[in-house]
Amino acid sequence: MATDWKSIAAQKKSAIEATIPAEWRLETLPADDSILSFPKSSGILTQDELAITESSATDLVRDLAAGNLTSVSVTTAFCKRAALAHQLTNCFHEFFPEIALARAKYLDEYLAENKKPVGPLHGLPISLKDQVRIKGLETTMGYVSWIGKKDTDDSVLTTMLLNAGAVLYVKTSVPQSLMVCETINNIFGRTTNPRNKNWSCGGSSGGEGAIVGIRGGIIGVGTDIGGSIRVPAAFNFLYGLRPSHGRLPYARMANSMEGQETIHSVCGPLTHSIADMRLFVTSVLSQKPWSYDSKVVPMPWREEEEQVIRSKISSKSLTLGYFSCDGEVLPHPPVLRAVQTVVDRLSKAGHTILPWEPYKHPYAVDLANRVYASDGGVDIFAALNASGEPAIPNIADLVNPNLPKMNVNELWEVQLQKWTYQSEYLTKIREFEAKIGKELDAIIAPITPTAAIRHNQFKYYGYASAINVLDFTSVVVPVTFADKAVDVRNEGFEPLGEMDRVVQGEYDPDAYHSAPVAVQIIGRRLTEERIMAIAEEVGRLLGNEITP
Amino acid sequence: MATDWKSIAAQKKSAIEATIPAEWRLETLPADDSILSFPKSSGILTQDELAITESSATDLVRDLAAGNLTSVSVTTAFCKRAALAHQLTNCFHEFFPEIALARAKYLDEYLAENKKPVGPLHGLPISLKDQVRIKGLETTMGYVSWIGKKDTDDSVLTTMLLNAGAVLYVKTSVPQSLMVCETINNIFGRTTNPRNKNWSCGGSSGGEGAIVGIRGGIIGVGTDIGGSIRVPAAFNFLYGLRPSHGRLPYARMANSMEGQETIHSVCGPLTHSIADMRLFVTSVLSQKPWSYDSKVVPMPWREEEEQVIRSKISSKSLTLGYFSCDGEVLPHPPVLRAVQTVVDRLSKAGHTILPWEPYKHPYAVDLANRVYASDGGVDIFAALNASGEPAIPNIADLVNPNLPKMNVNELWEVQLQKWTYQSEYLTKIREFEAKIGKELDAIIAPITPTAAIRHNQFKYYGYASAINVLDFTSVVVPVTFADKAVDVRNEGFEPLGEMDRVVQGEYDPDAYHSAPVAVQIIGRRLTEERIMAIAEEVGRLLGNEITP
């Protein structure tokens, strides 16, 4: 048995490759620019399987519950397409089609026998970021030292999904440490964007971005402590939900810096539509996660909150704020255009959309960075040192073993600063509302300063991480694609600072041509019902949303 | 101007004494055993004023809103009785009848002019623990070094209470550091129990226990990180609510160890009835505190949750657990009798009440103690050293400057242990429910191992602090009084350990005769509506509750 980390990692990688049946393997890979469409022409999926994987989760669960589709057929289709996704983007950490198909068979038999589904996700495959534990499988999270340790218990979310009838079949790639927004680790290497191998799939839920982006998954589960759901959603033209802490269950997931509660990591879905996102959230909430995970607020899905927004949509009376620049880093031209596009569409539809002054975002971003590095990288480097594997280059920006550590009193001071800042932000919202005499329904903003980024170029997390500091609900909505013909370089650019200069310097209209661009829609804590309804309307106005 | 701490403290104490108008001062104090009833015979309050102060908040706000009572008359009555309360128990930190009466006058004029009240607490005096900030007044929290610093902003709770129409008139005593359950500090000395000078009023919201106990206040605001609302409620025959974290606003209150978030301190009311408690909670929630304090969950009062319990009460189908001993310290005979009394009454009323096995409470108590001491007392001793005042003796048990400090990684480990423990407790509840095939509505338990305790004898916080670790909702219900004729010494007592031996050794049937005894009613996180409704029914069965 190998003992050096490289051999251990290589064995693990080979073992995962070997889980792909021979008949689903590709002999030759497609050209770089036809990866996304390759599953259609690969010959590995039947026409029915292609139709299944290109359907919506909402339609699939309806047909599964009615017995019009079997879970075995749906699971087979997604397992096949996931196998292609892995060969095309390198997105697997664990793949277990046999377990999935056995589960699907059980569900089909249950339905036949009981004439009713197990739950609202009956028979539907769900893909999981490799932090979610499944009893009997491994969770490496990309750490070589974690290889070979089988989980002895399910995460609470696993239990909720199984109770709701889901089929689990794959756990997907993350960057070493989870603390960066690209996806690379020393076991599996790099995961690439299914739209272009030169672009990142985002991170840390990058494997979910890639697999759902190429429809090897229909609903993916990610986590987000500084953009890790929203960035891969944005880079793969998907919807992504960062719920507020306490809405969805995180208990018993693996994590970096476990027990760190100053800025909570949260879990949420990446989907092709808000309808599918709502299906996921309502299905999990229907299982009463607060009876299992003490951090979950006992708050069922609030139809009446959704209805408030639907009424405002009907009467064209949404009131929204927006900003394009957070005061630290100016986004690239495609992102500025995306924000403006959303503003224009909402305005044209009759809604009120007003400039929002982002309140002390650079302060929040600095606070987040201090929290991420508060243990001086001790936790992450302990996981690395246990095998001797080196740190991936991206980590050095955020956590490294030379950082000073906080003591407990310093951490409390940061926590007090966070609470004060959050409450000041609420004051700014109340003042804004008092001035305009109306409720502010949401804020539209960039989620990254770039379209789907070139490898090793992700430097600025602030558009995402300021929202994590606020613990606001945020939904990413795909908007458009970079276009070299219109998104020309910002020639008169004067940098706000060094980070701004570096980020803007990365823009290259040719290299980013066709890269996905998104915005995020932000609301106060625990406003998932409202923000998802607004995101749905924005998607509808953009023509990117399936109308429910 | 004095610079030594003793002189500074003495000046502050004199200044507060001087806020009591001459006509409200007592020339001679009553005998020790007639303090509680003394306001009736003092001659300082008129018959109307006695009636007002012995009414309920629920009745008072009804009469105030209808214009049947003026706020000036109600405020005058409570200011007078509070002045007596201070002279009898030493419960003031700040007293400002002139500000209160000016506010009352404004509210009376507002009602006359607008024919409607400002809000649900229109004209009602509310007393505040000296952590709640009021712009322009001092918050010393008993620290000599904090004397002379006027607050520049209101706490969020202050804003909510004022917006709801309340009148603020007094801030009451706390122990130095807030971290003990008796009330003594180097500025004001000791606060005593209005029922017996030899007993503690409890702590840390001890001033609130005393002032509401003797009806110098009708609804008092306390805070609780390890029993600090529930213990003074219990020791003064009051109802006390420790809501779960995030239900009521704490932002901008003063505190010890500010920014400590591992076990959150929470605020809540001490009252004479559940009806008054509900009035307070619904009034604060009606002001949408989540729009001001980022830690407050956007959860209005849920009438439907209350109704679930009311229906079970009607159909005699409550299902409750109970325990008398947490496995670490056996309560004194009066407390064991109180638990049994509640069990008997509920059982006789037709409800189901079953033994509950307290799950790893000693583990939780130890975890709490590690959190309270996690900075090695640095924060508290900084506040002491700034003036040179000494620590009160009680602190040494919990925090002292010789304790080891945790580092950030150790704190994260404790936070992970907490989350795991909390979630395991939920599993125990689910398993219990599965076994009996019914929902567990609440758990009945002691809140302290003793009746209202003799001074300097409070040693064991575990019945309270385990619930803080769980962040469960808890309501204290007054049950009975120690009775030397029935609560005889436990002669066959065999101690579970040293703490058990020490606590049991303190019991003396004569010394505790007539001391108040309570239980707490415990429910899962954020179940205030349900637990208050159960507490109301228990109070009704005991004959201690005003029926709404």
Q: pLDDT, tens digit, for every residue of B90-149?
A: 999 999 999 999 999 999 999 999 999 999 999 999 999 999 999 999 999 999 999 999
| Structure-token pair, residue B89 | 């128990």
Chain A contact present for B15, CB below 8 A: no
- Given this model, what pLDDT does residue A545 score? 60
Which is catalytic among the residues A204, A265, A324, A474? A204
B322 membership: H or E segment, kind and range: strand B319-322
Helix (H, G, I), strand (E, B) or coil at A532: helix
Nearest C-alpha of chain B: how many angstroms from A408?
6
Q: How far apart are CA A449 and CA A493, in angstroms?
A: 14
- Given this model, what pLDDT does residue A401 score? 65
Nearest C-alpha of chain A: how many angstroms from B497?
31
Instruction: Using pLDDT thresholds of 50, 70 and 90, give the confidence band for residue B284.
Output: very high
- Given this model, what pLDDT does residue A32 score? 77
Chain B contact present for A297, CB below 8 A: yes
Give A-chain residues touching B417 at CB under 8 angstroms.
259
DSSP string spanning A173-195?
Answer: ---TTS-SSS-EETTTEE-EETT
Q: How far apart are CA B362 and CA B148, in angstroms?
A: 42
Q: Which of A335, A29, A394 is nearest to A176 (CA)?
A: A394
Best mutation target among A419, A428, A469, A526 (most B Cβ atoms within 10 Å) is: A419
Chain A contact present for B256, CB below 8 A: no
Q: What tens-digit pLDDT sequence spans chain A (548 residues)? A: 568 999 999 999 999 999 999 999 999 889 877 899 999 999 999 999 999 999 999 999 999 999 999 999 999 999 999 999 999 999 999 999 999 999 999 999 999 999 999 999 999 999 999 999 999 999 999 999 999 999 999 999 999 999 999 999 999 999 999 999 999 999 999 999 999 999 999 999 999 999 999 999 999 999 999 999 999 999 999 999 999 999 999 999 999 999 999 999 999 999 999 999 999 999 999 999 999 999 999 999 999 999 999 999 999 999 999 999 999 999 999 999 999 999 999 999 999 999 999 999 999 999 999 999 999 989 999 999 999 999 998 776 666 666 789 999 999 999 999 999 999 999 999 999 999 999 999 999 999 999 999 999 999 999 999 999 999 999 999 999 999 999 999 999 999 999 999 999 999 999 999 999 999 999 999 999 999 999 999 999 999 865 44
> How many contacts does A have with B, using Cβ atoms within 8 A?
134
| Structure-token pair, residue A438 | 């109306």
Q: Please list the helix, strand and coil fractions of chain B in percent, rounded to the nearest 5, in that order.
A: 40, 15, 45
Nearest C-alpha of chain A: how many angstroms from B292?
6
The mean pLDDT of B71-100, rounded to a whole number, is 98
- Given this model, what pLDDT does residue B545 score? 60
Give A-chain residues touching B246 at CB under 8 angstroms.
297
Chain A contact present for B364, CB below 8 A: no
B524 to A298: CB separation less than 8 angstroms, yes or no: yes
Helix (H, G, I), strand (E, B) or coil at A223: strand
- Given this model, what pLDDT does residue A544 score? 80
Question: Which B residues 442-481 touch A at CB under 8 Å?
Answer: 470-471
Sole residue written with tokens 């050794």: B505
Among candidates A295, A297, A419 on the partner chain, residue whose Cβ is nearest the Cβ of B251? A419
Chain A contact present for B431, CB below 8 A: no
Chain B contact present for A422, CB below 8 A: yes
Chain A contact present for B533, CB below 8 A: no
Residues near B109 by beta carbon (within 8 Å), at least 6 away in sequence: none
Please say if the pLDDT value at position B419 is more than 70: yes
Give B-chain residues touching A413 at CB under 8 angstroms.
259
Chain A contact present for B378, CB below 8 A: yes
Nearest C-alpha of chain B: how many angstroms from A258?
7
Give B-chain residues touching A299 at CB under 8 angstroms.
297, 299
- Given this model, what pLDDT does residue B395 score? 79
Per-residue pLDDT reduced to its tens digit, A229-246: 999 999 999 999 999 999
Q: How far apart are CA B185 and CA B81, in angstroms?
A: 23
| Structure-token pair, residue A508 | 């290259």
Among candidates B295, B412, B426 on the partner chain, residue whose Cβ is nearest the Cβ of A259? B412
The set of catalytic residues of B is 129, 204, 228
The mean pLDDT of B65-72, rounded to a whole number, is 98
Q: How far apart are CA B185 and CA B91, in angstroms?
A: 11
Nearest C-alpha of chain A: how many angstroms from B388?
21
Type of residue at B342: V
Q: How far apart are CA B153 and CA B137, in angstroms?
A: 10
Chain A contact present for B246, CB below 8 A: yes
Among candidates B261, B297, B525 on the partner chain, residue whose Cβ is nearest the Cβ of A261? B261
Chain A contact present for B294, CB below 8 A: yes
Give bridge partners of residue B291 from the DSSP assignment.
Answer: none
A526 to B415: CB separation less than 8 angstroms, yes or no: no
Give B-chain residues touching A417 at CB under 8 angstroms.
259
Among candidates A299, A375, A416 on the partner chain, residue whose Cβ is nearest the Cβ of B408? A375
Chain A contact present for B26, CB below 8 A: no
A412 to B294: CB separation less than 8 angstroms, yes or no: no
Nearest C-alpha of chain B: how many angstroms from A420?
8
* Annotation says A228 is catalytic: yes
Please say if the pLDDT value at position B548 is more than 50: no
A407 to B407: CB separation less than 8 angstroms, yes or no: yes
% residues pLDDT > 90 (chain B)? 94
The mean pLDDT of B254-260, rounded to a whole number, is 97
Which is catalytic among the residues A13, A80, A129, A312? A129
Nearest C-alpha of chain B: how many angstroms from A152?
15
Chain A contact present for B441, CB below 8 A: no
Chain B contact present for A153, CB below 8 A: no
Q: Are B452 and B218 in contact (CB under 8 A)?
A: no
Sole residue written with tokens 């009680």: B394
Helix (H, G, I), strand (E, B) or coil at B277: helix
> In the 8-state DSSP scheme, what is residue B386?
T
Question: Which B residues 88-147 touch A at CB under 8 Å?
Answer: none
- Given this model, what pLDDT does residue A443 score? 98
Give B-chain residues touching A288 at CB under 8 angstroms.
none
Q: Are B465 and B364 in contact (CB under 8 A)?
A: yes
Q: Are B201 and B270 in contact (CB under 8 A)?
A: no
> In the 8-state DSSP scheme, what is residue A513?
T
The mean pLDDT of B171-179, rounded to a whole number, is 96
